[in-house]
Amino acid sequence: MSVDVTELARGVTTRSAVSVARAISLVEDRRPAQEPKILSLLANLAKSPNVAACRRVGITGPPGVGKSSLVSALCRALRAQGHSVGVLAVDPSSPRSGGALLGDRARIVHDPDDGDVFIRSMASGGHLGGLARAAGAAVDVLSAAYDWVLVETTGVGQSETDIEHVADTVLLVIQPASGDMLQFIKAGILEIPDVLAVNKADLGEVAARAGAELRAALEALGTARTPPVVHTSTLTGEGIDELVRVLAEHRDDIADLSARRIEKSAQWALRLFTHRYGELGVDDRGGPSALRAELSRLIASGASSLSAVAQLAPR
């Protein structure tokens, strides 16, 4: 398939769903011959003024807490406020079969005729914790098109930490009485989210108790900033508008968004680089800190994470 990258980028920035879908398929294409096109597309899209304005939210949490339901509810609330929304749902998949664990079911409910909502799922392929290799680039594509980009991943091990590399704001979703809290504290996961949602607030007393326990756990961590906790219910709609407000507030309060994005993209690029060239490749570049600084410099001067990785390929 021959691709006119300039035309494709124009389609993405004018929010053509066909173009956005084709652009994401292109960044998922692993054939080496496609790489120049992918890099050129990303460079083209990076020029879109929408990228700086876009709010990118990573949504993570254990299976079954209601992430997909919450993403559907957030989409509806954001659309009601006139915002366009792009969603990337990353499903865990077995590296052996390559098939998504949760199958191909459309888990997020939306109006198929609404051109201002775009939903795409991606199998993680077992790489990079719970995030797909192409997730960062797919987020870059969506960021050129939509006001809000929501990236949903299931909390399986590393994904909670990886998601922060491609999002401005990380939302951790938990549910009452799930016993996950102790695990989160042990694994250091509570230190990652910028905002927390205790979903299934309609369960009443048990939800209120979970919220109180969570606040106590967060305070015990003694971090500089205790993240806000919002009680939500996708059944009753409780807390959904408040969640939108809190997410927007977090994103809009980031003092230097562009520096933060550069830093996070460099971390993501380091993950990609290590995945591609192994630790020997990283050592060849002077070790992780030196390499990250180099990646950071390239990204600060306009390179995408993928292009920075390509430029620093081991000699």
Binding site for ligand GDP (CB under 6 A): 63-69, 107, 199-200, 202-203, 233-235
In the complex, minimum distance from the CB of residue 133 to ligand GDP, in angstroms, rounded to a whole number: 22
**Residue placing its CB nearer to ligand GDP in the complex, 102 or 187:** 102
In the complex, minimum distance from the CB of residue 61 to ligand GDP, in angstroms, rounded to a whole number: 6
**Residue placing its CB nearer to ligand GDP in the complex, 226 or 236:** 236
In the complex, minimum distance from the CB of residue 295 to ligand GDP, in angstroms, rounded to a whole number: 32
In the complex, minimum distance from the CB of residue 163 to ligand GDP, in angstroms, rounded to a whole number: 14
Closest-by-Cβ residue to ligand GDP is 66
In the complex, minimum distance from the CB of residue 275 to ligand GDP, in angstroms, rounded to a whole number: 26
3-state secondary structure of 23: helix
Beta bridge partners of 231: 198
How far is residue 238's CA from residue 201's CA, in Å, rounded to a whole number? Answer: 8
**Residue placing its CB nearer to ligand GDP in the complex, 66 or 228:** 66
Contact 76, 40 (CB under 8 A): no
What is the side-by-side order of every strand in the sheet holding 195-198? 117-123, 85-91, 148-153, 55-60, 169-174, 195-198, 229-231
How far is residue 49's CA from residue 284's CA, in Å, rounded to a whole number? Answer: 36
User: Quick one: which of 165, 137, 172 has its CA closest to 243?
Assistant: 172
**Residue placing its CB nearer to ligand GDP in the complex, 8 or 244:** 244
In the complex, minimum distance from the CB of residue 117 to ligand GDP, in angstroms, rounded to a whole number: 17
**Residue placing its CB nearer to ligand GDP in the complex, 153 or 161:** 153
In the complex, minimum distance from the CB of residue 248 to ligand GDP, in angstroms, rounded to a whole number: 21
Residue reference for tokens 């460079």: 43
3-state secondary structure of 174: strand
Q: What is the full DSSP assignment across 68-104?
A: HHHHHHHHHHHHHTT--EEEEEEEPB-TTT--BTTTT
**Residue placing its CB nearer to ligand GDP in the complex, 202 or 263:** 202
Contact 20, 12 (CB under 8 A): yes
**Residue placing its CB nearer to ligand GDP in the complex, 144 or 167:** 167
